[in-house]
């Protein structure tokens, strides 16, 4: 059967894959994996290969983007091929093109979902899922953009929270920190002066979501900028309107100051 199965690996280590995903991997004719779209802090390729009893071929961004995933598509034309992706396969839109190209070649595709940063952030923070607006990525300073600031403004106008995914280059071990992201947003505020992201803005920083030792810290932006979140990867939430239960959760589990209580509606 010529088939390409996209399998989510989860967020932290080789144990994050679902039982279904592991079974699909064990029965594949060819297995590929990428680790450049997200960092899995405790993942071991050796342990994963022992777990599934198979050899895994790592693919680079160049192989997928510049070569259009040819090595994966060629394998999928002759047998069942599994492509392992951090998190849930299409939360990052990077691989949509590969799936479309597979369809053009007459290759059947399936998705085995994994734990997503989106659901983990919501669960970890205690903020209500239905109150999140558009998600945005905060880029590295050399690619600085006001888009994150503008998305936060749009969401706030609707009373919605904003999840900011912070840029990374896993291959080069470069990760935009919560502190850097907060500093960049504060600089944009200094320029625009719209009151969207000031030192008094309630903010939530997250590191290593999905791991056994995540860091979750809520504070006003001016204070959060100096907090040590430890090792990557990182995410940032800029809340909109708070329900009192959301504030209770942030005080109990994210060390938010009591002053947050005056922010709930």
158 and 69 both lie in a single domain: no
Which of 97, 112, 127 represents a domain boundary (last residue)? 112
176 and 225 both lie in a single domain: yes
* Least confident range of 34-38, 41-45, 124-128, 162-166: 34-38
122 and 107 both lie in a single domain: no
Which of 112, 141, 173 represents a domain boundary (last residue)? 112
Task: Give the pLDDT confidence of 61-82 residue by residue, as tens digits.
Answer: 888 888 888 999 999 999 999 9
65 and 89 both lie in a single domain: yes
60 and 147 both lie in a single domain: no
Question: What is the mean pLDDT of the segment spanning 40-68?
Answer: 90
Given a cut of 80, whether residue 159 has pLDDT beyond it is: yes
Whether the CB-CB separation of 39 and 170 falls below 8 Å is answered with yes
Whether pTM exceeds 0.75:
yes
Question: What is the mean pLDDT of the segment spanning 183-202?
Answer: 96
Q: Which domain holds residue 26?
A: 3-112
79 and 145 both lie in a single domain: no
Give the dihedral sign, CA 249/250/256/258: negative
Which of 72, 87, 112 represents a domain boundary (last residue)? 112
Which tokens in the block code for residue 144? 């600085």
Which CATH number goes with the domain that contains 223? 3.30.950.10
At residue 114, the pLDDT reads 93
Which CATH number goes with the domain that contains 9? 3.40.1010.10
- Average pLDDT score, the chain: 93
* 140 burial via Cβ count (<10 Å: 0-12, 13-18, 19+): middle
Whether the CB-CB separation of 98 and 20 falls below 8 Å is answered with no
Question: What is the mean pLDDT of the segment spanning 224-249?
Answer: 95
Given a cut of 80, whether residue 200 has pLDDT beyond it is: yes
| 3 state DSSP class of 177 | coil
230 and 168 both lie in a single domain: yes
CA-CA-CA-CA torsion for 127, 41, 147, 160, nearest 10 degrees?
A: -10
Count of structural domains within the chain: 2
State percent of the chain over pLDDT 90.
80
Whether the CB-CB separation of 112 and 17 falls below 8 Å is answered with no
Given a cut of 80, whether residue 1 has pLDDT beyond it is: no
What band does 41 get if pLDDT is binned at 50, 70 and 90?
Answer: confident
What band does 227 get if pLDDT is binned at 50, 70 and 90?
Answer: very high
Whether the CB-CB separation of 160 and 133 falls below 8 Å is answered with yes
37 and 83 both lie in a single domain: yes
180 and 146 both lie in a single domain: yes
What band does 143 get if pLDDT is binned at 50, 70 and 90?
Answer: confident
At residue 237, the pLDDT reads 98
Given a cut of 80, whether residue 265 has pLDDT beyond it is: no
103 and 122 both lie in a single domain: no
Task: Give the pLDDT confidence of 78-107 residue by residue, as tens digits.
Answer: 999 999 999 999 887 778 999 999 999 999
Task: Give the pLDDT confidence of 9-38 residue by residue, as tens digits.
Answer: 999 899 999 999 999 999 999 999 998 888
Question: What is the mean pLDDT of the segment spanning 121-146?
Answer: 93
At residue 190, the pLDDT reads 95
167 and 244 both lie in a single domain: yes
What band does 3 get if pLDDT is binned at 50, 70 and 90?
Answer: very high
79 and 124 both lie in a single domain: no
What band does 248 get if pLDDT is binned at 50, 70 and 90?
Answer: very high
């Amino acid at each position: 059967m010529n088939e390409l199965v996209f399998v989510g690996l989860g967020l932290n280590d080789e144990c994050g894959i679902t039982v279904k995903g592991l079974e699909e991997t064990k029965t594949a004719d060819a297995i590929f994996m990428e680790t450049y779209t997200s960092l899995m802090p405790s993942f071991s390729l050796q342990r994963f290969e022992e777990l599934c009893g198979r050899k895994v071929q790592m693919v680079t961004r160049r192989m997928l983007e510049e070569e259009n995933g040819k090595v994966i598509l060629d394998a999928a034309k002759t047998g069942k091929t599994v492509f392992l992706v951090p998190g849930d396969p299409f939360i990052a839109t990077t691989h949509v093109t590969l799936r479309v190209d597979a369809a053009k070649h007459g290759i059947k595709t399936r998705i085995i979902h994994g734990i997503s940063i989106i659901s983990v952030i919501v669960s970890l923070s205690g903020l209500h899922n239905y109150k999140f607006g558009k998600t945005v990525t905060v880029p590295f300073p050399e690619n600085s953009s006001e888009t994150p600031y503008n998305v936060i403004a749009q969401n706030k106008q609707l009373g919605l929270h904003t999840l900011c995914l912070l840029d990374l280059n896993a291959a080069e071990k470069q990760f935009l920190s919560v502190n850097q992201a907060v500093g960049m947003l504060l600089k944009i505020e200094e320029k625009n002066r719209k009151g969207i992201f000031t030192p008094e803005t309630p903010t939530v920083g997250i590191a290593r979501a999905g791991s056994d030792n995540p860091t979750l810290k809520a504070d006003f932006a001016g204070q959060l900028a100096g907090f040590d979140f430890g090792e990557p990867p990182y995410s940032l939430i800029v809340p909109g309107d708070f329900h009192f239960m959301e504030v209770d959760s942030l005080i109990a589990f994210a060390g938010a100051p009591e002053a947050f209580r005056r922010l709930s509606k």
